[in-house]
A = this chain, B = another copy of it.
Amino acid sequence: MTSHAGEKWYRTETALGARHCVGRGDELIVVDGSPFGAWKPTGERLALSSARLLPPVIPPTFYAIGSNYRQHIEKMAATAGRAPVYYERPRVGYRANNALVGDGDAIVKPADAGEEFQYEAELVAVVGETLRNVTPARARDAIFGWTIGNDVSERHWQKIDQTNIRAKNCDTFKPMGPCIARLADLSGMRTKVTMNGVLLHDFDTLDMLFDAGEVISEISRYNTLSPGDVVWLGTDDKPRNMKPGDRLEIEITGIGVLRNHVVAASA
Protein backbone atom coordinates (compact mmCIF):
# COMPACT_ATOMS: atom_id res chain seq x y z
CA MET A 1 0.00 0.00 0.00
CA THR A 2 2.88 2.38 0.70
CA SER A 3 3.43 3.11 -2.98
CA HIS A 4 -0.20 4.19 -3.24
CA ALA A 5 -0.05 6.46 -0.18
CA GLY A 6 -1.68 9.78 -0.90
CA GLU A 7 -3.70 8.41 -3.82
CA LYS A 8 -7.30 9.65 -3.77
CA TRP A 9 -10.23 7.89 -5.43
CA TYR A 10 -13.41 9.75 -6.37
CA ARG A 11 -16.60 8.77 -8.17
CA THR A 12 -18.58 11.01 -10.50
CA GLU A 13 -21.03 11.06 -13.38
CA THR A 14 -19.26 11.01 -16.73
CA ALA A 15 -20.36 10.80 -20.35
CA LEU A 16 -20.30 7.00 -19.87
CA GLY A 17 -22.26 6.99 -16.59
CA ALA A 18 -21.00 6.76 -13.01
CA ARG A 19 -17.27 6.05 -12.96
CA HIS A 20 -14.44 5.80 -10.46
CA CYS A 21 -11.72 8.41 -10.93
CA VAL A 22 -8.27 8.87 -9.51
CA GLY A 23 -7.33 12.40 -8.50
CA ARG A 24 -4.29 14.08 -10.00
CA GLY A 25 -3.85 17.66 -8.87
CA ASP A 26 -7.02 19.53 -9.87
CA GLU A 27 -8.08 16.81 -12.29
CA LEU A 28 -10.01 13.58 -12.12
CA ILE A 29 -8.64 10.78 -14.33
CA VAL A 30 -11.75 8.75 -15.25
CA VAL A 31 -11.25 4.98 -15.24
CA ASP A 32 -13.13 1.88 -16.32
CA GLY A 33 -13.22 -0.76 -13.63
CA SER A 34 -12.83 -0.53 -9.89
CA PRO A 35 -10.09 0.64 -7.54
CA PHE A 36 -10.56 -2.69 -5.73
CA GLY A 37 -9.81 -4.71 -8.85
CA ALA A 38 -8.61 -4.08 -12.38
CA TRP A 39 -8.99 -0.62 -13.91
CA LYS A 40 -7.65 1.47 -16.74
CA PRO A 41 -8.04 5.13 -17.70
CA THR A 42 -10.77 5.86 -20.24
CA GLY A 43 -8.86 8.90 -21.50
CA GLU A 44 -11.49 11.28 -20.12
CA ARG A 45 -10.38 13.93 -17.62
CA LEU A 46 -12.59 16.23 -15.61
CA ALA A 47 -11.96 19.27 -13.44
CA LEU A 48 -12.28 18.25 -9.79
CA SER A 49 -13.65 21.67 -8.84
CA SER A 50 -16.67 21.40 -11.15
CA ALA A 51 -17.43 17.65 -10.86
CA ARG A 52 -20.52 16.54 -8.99
CA LEU A 53 -19.12 13.93 -6.65
CA LEU A 54 -20.98 10.71 -5.92
CA PRO A 55 -20.37 8.58 -2.82
CA PRO A 56 -16.86 7.22 -3.60
CA VAL A 57 -18.13 3.65 -3.40
CA ILE A 58 -21.52 1.89 -3.18
CA PRO A 59 -20.68 -0.80 -0.64
CA PRO A 60 -21.85 -4.40 -1.03
CA THR A 61 -22.51 -4.22 2.73
CA PHE A 62 -22.53 -1.03 4.77
CA TYR A 63 -21.34 -1.55 8.36
CA ALA A 64 -21.49 1.07 11.12
CA ILE A 65 -20.28 0.99 14.71
CA GLY A 66 -21.98 2.72 17.62
CA SER A 67 -20.63 3.90 20.97
CA ASN A 68 -16.97 3.90 19.92
CA TYR A 69 -15.71 7.08 21.65
CA ARG A 70 -15.64 7.69 25.39
CA GLN A 71 -16.84 11.31 25.44
CA HIS A 72 -19.69 10.56 23.05
CA ILE A 73 -20.89 7.71 25.25
CA GLU A 74 -20.63 9.82 28.41
CA LYS A 75 -22.28 12.97 27.03
CA MET A 76 -25.13 11.11 25.31
CA ALA A 77 -25.79 9.12 28.49
CA ALA A 78 -25.76 12.26 30.66
CA THR A 79 -28.28 13.93 28.34
CA ALA A 80 -30.54 10.88 28.55
CA GLY A 81 -30.13 10.76 32.35
CA ARG A 82 -28.63 7.27 32.42
CA ALA A 83 -25.29 5.70 33.24
CA PRO A 84 -22.79 5.42 30.36
CA VAL A 85 -22.37 1.96 28.84
CA TYR A 86 -19.00 0.90 27.46
CA TYR A 87 -19.36 -2.20 25.32
CA GLU A 88 -16.86 -5.03 25.78
CA ARG A 89 -16.82 -5.76 22.07
CA PRO A 90 -17.45 -3.46 19.10
CA ARG A 91 -21.16 -2.72 18.81
CA VAL A 92 -21.65 -3.62 15.16
CA GLY A 93 -24.61 -2.30 13.19
CA TYR A 94 -25.28 -1.56 9.55
CA ARG A 95 -26.95 0.94 7.27
CA ALA A 96 -28.93 0.95 4.00
CA ASN A 97 -27.48 2.10 0.66
CA ASN A 98 -30.57 4.10 -0.34
CA ALA A 99 -29.46 6.72 2.21
CA LEU A 100 -26.06 7.45 0.59
CA VAL A 101 -25.33 10.81 -1.02
CA GLY A 102 -22.07 12.46 -2.01
CA ASP A 103 -20.06 15.54 -1.11
CA GLY A 104 -21.99 18.70 -1.94
CA ASP A 105 -25.39 17.03 -1.87
CA ALA A 106 -28.31 18.21 0.25
CA ILE A 107 -29.34 16.46 3.44
CA VAL A 108 -33.14 16.51 3.27
CA LYS A 109 -34.89 16.89 6.62
CA PRO A 110 -38.23 15.04 6.43
CA ALA A 111 -41.31 17.15 7.13
CA ASP A 112 -42.14 15.14 10.27
CA ALA A 113 -38.59 14.92 11.65
CA GLY A 114 -38.14 16.55 15.05
CA GLU A 115 -35.76 19.17 16.40
CA GLU A 116 -33.07 16.65 17.37
CA PHE A 117 -31.92 16.15 13.81
CA GLN A 118 -28.17 15.66 14.17
CA TYR A 119 -24.92 14.96 12.32
CA GLU A 120 -22.34 12.41 13.43
CA ALA A 121 -18.84 12.94 11.98
CA GLU A 122 -17.17 9.59 11.32
CA LEU A 123 -13.98 8.11 9.95
CA VAL A 124 -14.82 5.34 7.47
CA ALA A 125 -12.57 2.38 6.63
CA VAL A 126 -12.98 1.04 3.08
CA VAL A 127 -12.22 -2.68 2.84
CA GLY A 128 -9.97 -3.81 -0.02
CA GLU A 129 -10.07 -7.60 0.22
CA THR A 130 -12.33 -10.54 1.00
CA LEU A 131 -11.98 -11.25 4.72
CA ARG A 132 -13.35 -13.92 7.05
CA ASN A 133 -12.19 -14.79 10.55
CA VAL A 134 -9.18 -12.48 10.49
CA THR A 135 -7.07 -10.95 13.25
CA PRO A 136 -7.08 -7.18 13.83
CA ALA A 137 -3.58 -6.99 12.31
CA ARG A 138 -4.66 -8.80 9.15
CA ALA A 139 -7.78 -6.62 8.96
CA ARG A 140 -5.66 -3.45 9.18
CA ASP A 141 -3.54 -4.64 6.26
CA ALA A 142 -6.67 -5.23 4.17
CA ILE A 143 -8.00 -1.67 4.47
CA PHE A 144 -7.88 -0.07 1.02
CA GLY A 145 -8.29 3.49 2.22
CA TRP A 146 -10.31 5.96 4.26
CA THR A 147 -13.22 8.29 3.71
CA ILE A 148 -15.56 10.50 5.76
CA GLY A 149 -19.16 9.77 6.71
CA ASN A 150 -21.96 11.77 8.29
CA ASP A 151 -24.27 9.39 10.15
CA VAL A 152 -27.28 11.72 10.20
CA SER A 153 -29.70 10.69 12.96
CA GLU A 154 -33.16 11.72 14.11
CA ARG A 155 -32.99 11.13 17.87
CA HIS A 156 -36.73 10.86 18.59
CA TRP A 157 -37.21 8.18 15.94
CA GLN A 158 -34.07 6.49 17.25
CA LYS A 159 -35.80 6.22 20.64
CA ILE A 160 -39.29 5.18 19.57
CA ASP A 161 -38.79 3.00 16.49
CA GLN A 162 -38.07 -0.73 16.70
CA THR A 163 -35.42 -0.46 13.98
CA ASN A 164 -33.27 2.45 12.82
CA ILE A 165 -34.47 2.40 9.21
CA ARG A 166 -36.19 5.78 9.70
CA ALA A 167 -33.91 7.32 12.35
CA LYS A 168 -30.72 6.72 10.37
CA ASN A 169 -31.56 5.51 6.85
CA CYS A 170 -33.95 7.95 5.21
CA ASP A 171 -32.86 9.14 1.77
CA THR A 172 -29.84 11.53 2.07
CA PHE A 173 -29.09 10.61 5.72
CA LYS A 174 -25.70 9.10 4.83
CA PRO A 175 -23.39 11.60 3.12
CA MET A 176 -20.03 9.97 2.32
CA GLY A 177 -16.93 11.38 0.64
CA PRO A 178 -15.40 13.39 -0.87
CA CYS A 179 -12.91 10.64 -1.77
CA ILE A 180 -11.22 7.47 -0.56
CA ALA A 181 -7.71 8.43 0.53
CA ARG A 182 -4.96 5.83 0.75
CA LEU A 183 -2.84 6.73 3.75
CA ALA A 184 0.42 5.20 4.96
CA ASP A 185 0.24 6.86 8.35
CA LEU A 186 -2.79 7.96 10.37
CA SER A 187 -0.94 9.49 13.31
CA GLY A 188 -2.15 12.90 14.42
CA MET A 189 -5.44 12.46 12.59
CA ARG A 190 -8.15 14.88 13.78
CA THR A 191 -11.84 15.26 13.00
CA LYS A 192 -13.20 18.81 12.80
CA VAL A 193 -16.86 19.69 12.45
CA THR A 194 -17.80 23.18 11.29
CA MET A 195 -21.40 24.39 11.00
CA ASN A 196 -22.13 27.69 9.23
CA GLY A 197 -18.45 28.60 9.52
CA VAL A 198 -18.21 27.94 13.29
CA LEU A 199 -15.93 25.15 14.53
CA LEU A 200 -18.05 22.98 16.86
CA HIS A 201 -15.84 19.92 17.40
CA ASP A 202 -12.16 19.09 17.02
CA PHE A 203 -11.35 15.63 18.29
CA ASP A 204 -8.63 12.99 18.06
CA THR A 205 -10.01 10.71 15.31
CA LEU A 206 -8.08 7.68 16.55
CA ASP A 207 -9.10 7.95 20.22
CA MET A 208 -11.58 5.11 19.67
CA LEU A 209 -12.50 2.30 22.02
CA PHE A 210 -12.02 -0.18 19.14
CA ASP A 211 -9.87 0.66 16.13
CA ALA A 212 -10.76 -0.24 12.55
CA GLY A 213 -8.75 -3.47 12.69
CA GLU A 214 -10.50 -4.64 15.85
CA VAL A 215 -13.90 -3.73 14.45
CA ILE A 216 -13.34 -5.50 11.12
CA SER A 217 -11.92 -8.53 12.94
CA GLU A 218 -15.07 -8.69 15.08
CA ILE A 219 -17.35 -8.39 12.01
CA SER A 220 -15.36 -11.14 10.28
CA ARG A 221 -16.20 -13.65 13.03
CA TYR A 222 -19.69 -13.93 11.52
CA ASN A 223 -19.60 -12.15 8.17
CA THR A 224 -17.47 -12.22 5.07
CA LEU A 225 -16.30 -8.71 4.23
CA SER A 226 -15.93 -7.90 0.53
CA PRO A 227 -13.88 -5.33 -1.42
CA GLY A 228 -15.74 -2.03 -1.28
CA ASP A 229 -17.51 -2.74 2.01
CA VAL A 230 -17.42 0.31 4.27
CA VAL A 231 -17.11 0.37 8.04
CA TRP A 232 -18.19 3.60 9.71
CA LEU A 233 -16.30 3.95 12.96
CA GLY A 234 -18.48 6.12 15.19
CA THR A 235 -18.29 9.72 16.39
CA ASP A 236 -17.00 11.54 19.44
CA ASP A 237 -18.49 14.38 21.49
CA LYS A 238 -22.15 15.37 21.54
CA PRO A 239 -23.56 16.33 18.14
CA ARG A 240 -25.78 19.41 17.82
CA ASN A 241 -29.07 19.87 16.03
CA MET A 242 -29.20 20.79 12.34
CA LYS A 243 -31.96 22.78 10.64
CA PRO A 244 -32.72 23.68 7.03
CA GLY A 245 -30.21 26.23 5.80
CA ASP A 246 -27.32 24.90 7.89
CA ARG A 247 -24.03 24.21 6.10
CA LEU A 248 -21.93 21.40 7.52
CA GLU A 249 -18.25 20.64 6.94
CA ILE A 250 -16.53 17.56 8.31
CA GLU A 251 -12.77 17.55 7.86
CA ILE A 252 -10.50 14.62 8.63
CA THR A 253 -6.73 14.96 8.32
CA GLY A 254 -5.35 13.47 5.12
CA ILE A 255 -8.75 12.78 3.54
CA GLY A 256 -10.33 16.17 2.93
CA VAL A 257 -13.61 17.89 3.72
CA LEU A 258 -17.14 16.47 3.35
CA ARG A 259 -19.52 19.39 2.72
CA ASN A 260 -23.31 19.11 2.84
CA HIS A 261 -26.20 21.44 3.54
CA VAL A 262 -29.60 20.84 5.08
CA VAL A 263 -32.84 21.51 3.20
CA ALA A 264 -36.47 21.01 4.21
CA ALA A 265 -38.42 18.28 2.40
CA SER A 266 -40.51 19.83 -0.34
CA ALA A 267 -43.51 17.56 0.32
Residues of chain A having any CB pair with chain B under 8 Å: 60-63, 66, 87, 91-94, 96-99, 110, 132-133, 162-163, 165-166, 169-171, 219, 222-226, 229, 267
Contact = CB atoms under 8 A, between A and B. Distances in A.
A222 B162 CA distance: 16
Nearest to A225: B98
Given A171-B224, A223-B171, A98 B60 contact: yes
- Give the 10 A-B residue pairs with the shortest CB-CB distance, closest first: A93-B163, A170-B222, A61-B98, A61-B96, A92-B165, A98-B223, A94-B96, A171-B224, A91-B162, A61-B97
A73 to B, nearest CB: 13
B165 A98 contact: no
Given A171-B223, A222-B171, A97 B60 contact: yes
Contacts of A223: 96, 98-99, 165, 169-171
Contact of A222 (B60, B110, B219): B110
Contacts of A60: 97-98
A91 B171 CA distance: 18
Report copies per complex: 2
Contacts of A91: 162-163
Contacts of A224: 98, 171
A169 B94 CA distance: 10
Nearest to A60: B97
B165 A94 contact: yes
A97 B230 CA distance: 13
Nearest to A164: B163
Contacts of A225: 98
Contacts of A110: 222
Contacts of A219: 165
A165 B219 CA distance: 9
A162 B67 CA distance: 11
Contacts of A132: 171
A224 B265 CA distance: 13
A222 B165 CA distance: 9
8 contacts: A93-B162, A93-B165, A94-B163, A98-B229, A110-B222, A165-B219, A166-B222, A171-B222
